[in-house]
Amino acid sequence: MARVLEFESFGAGAPLFLRDRRDGPLGPGLVRVRQSAIGVNFVDIYQRNGLYPLGPVPGVEAAGIVEGVASDVEGFAPGMRVAYAGPPAGSYAELRDLPAARLVAVPDGLDERQLAGSFLRGLTAGLLLDRVLPDVGGKPVLVHAAAGGLGLILVQWLKRRGATVIGTVGSPAKAELARTRGLDHAILYRDDDFREGVREITGGVGVVAAIDGIGGETLLRSLEALAPFGTAASLGQVSGGLPAIDPALLVNRFLVRPSILAFLADETRFRPAAEAWFAALQDGLCIEGGHSYPFTEAAHALDDMEAGHTSGPVRLLVEG
C-alpha cells in the first residue's frame, strides 16, 4: 500500500486529496520506484487549474530508489538511485511504476533530493539553448523571473554561452540572488517598464531573445523588447493566459512556444537531454537550495509557487 495525492475537481486552488493505492504486480518493461523527492513545477499548477488535462494525479518529475524491476528490464536493479521527468503525469505518489525508458540513473555525487525540482527545468533550459536559441553567445538575452527555478538555471547556462543576461525580478533580494549566479542587469518589473530598461541597456537595439514564462501583457512587451529578427520563446502563462497577438507585432520578429513535455514525449530524447543536464551540474552549474515541503503539504507548495513566494527548485519530500 502506498499513498498518492489527487484532484477530485479542477480549478483555481482546487484541493488535493490523500488516497491509499494498493500495489499491483509489476508489468512487463516496468520499474518500481520508491520516491524520495518529487519536483513541483508550474505545469502542476496548470494541471490543477484545468488548463492542461493531464489526469487526476499531478507531477511530472521525481527521484528515488528502485524497489523492483520486471524480468524483461535490463540496466536497472533494486537499490539504484534514479530520476525521471516528463510525461505521463502522476508523480505525486510515494511509489510509482514507470517504463524503464523513462528513467535515468542518478550519477554519483548528485543528491537525488536536491535534483528533484530542478530536473524538468534543467531539461527545459537545455531544450531552449540547444534547439530553440542556440546562437546567443556575446548577445543580450532577456530572462523573465530570473530568480525563479528555471530563471536561475538559464542565467548560469546563458553566461556559460557568453550571453549578456538581462533579467526581470520581483524584489531587490531576488535581484541580488540572480546576480550571484551571473545576471548582468536586473530590472525590478514592479517598479520599472522592462522595455525601457532593455532599450537603455542595449543602446536602443533590443535583445536577440526573450524567454517568457509569464504570458499576458508581458509576452506582448517581450516582443516589443526584441531586436530586429529576435526571438521570443513563450514557455508558460503565470499571469493567467496568453494574449491575442497582432501580426504586426511579428514583423521582423519570431515567436515560438516550445513544450518540454511534447519534446520528452519521444522517449529517445530523454536520456541524452538528461545526460547533458547532469554534465552541466557536474561541471559546476549550481542548483539553489530552493524550498522543500512534506509530501502531504503539496497544495501549500503549489499555492506558494503560484503566489511567487518561492525561488529556485521546489520539491516534496517523502518520509521513509
At residue 256, does pLDDT exceed 90? yes
Q: Annotate 146-172 with three-state secondary structure.
A: CCEHHHHHHHHHHHHCCCEEEEEECCH
Q: Lowest-pLDDT range, 96-105, 168-177, 216-225, 231-240?
A: 231-240
Q: What span, in angstroms and rounded, lies between the C-alpha atoms of 156 and 165?
A: 9
CATH class given for the domain over 2-118+287-317? alpha beta
Q: What are 97-125's pLDDT values in tens digits?
A: 999 999 999 999 998 888 899 999 999 99
CA 92 from centroid of its chain's CA atoms? 16
Query: Residue 154's pLDDT is what?
Result: 96
| pLDDT tens string 272-313 | 999 999 999 999 999 888 899 999 999 999 999 988 888 778
Dist CA 164 CA 202 (whole Å):
10
What is the mean pLDDT of the segment spanning 49-74?
A: 95
Query: How much is the pLDDT for 22?
Result: 86
Each residue of 161-214: pLDDT tens digit?
A: 999 999 999 999 999 999 999 999 999 999 999 999 999 999 999 999 999 999
Q: Where are the domains of the chain?
A: 2-118+287-317, 121-260
Q: Assess whether pLDDT exceeds 80 at residue 241.
A: no
CATH code of the domain made up of 121-260? 3.40.50.720
Kindly state the cell numbers that stand for 22.
494498493
Compute the mean pLDDT over every residue in the chain, rounded to the nearest whole number.
Answer: 93
Q: 320 falls in which pLDDT band (50, 70, 90)?
A: low
pLDDT band, very low/low/confident/very high, at 221 (cuts 50, 70, 90): very high
The model carries a pTM of 0.91
| Nearest partner of 206 among 215, 214, 194, 218, judged by Cα | 194
Percentage above 70 pLDDT, the chain: 99
Give the per-residue pLDDT at 96: 97
**Beta-ladder partners of 69:** 31
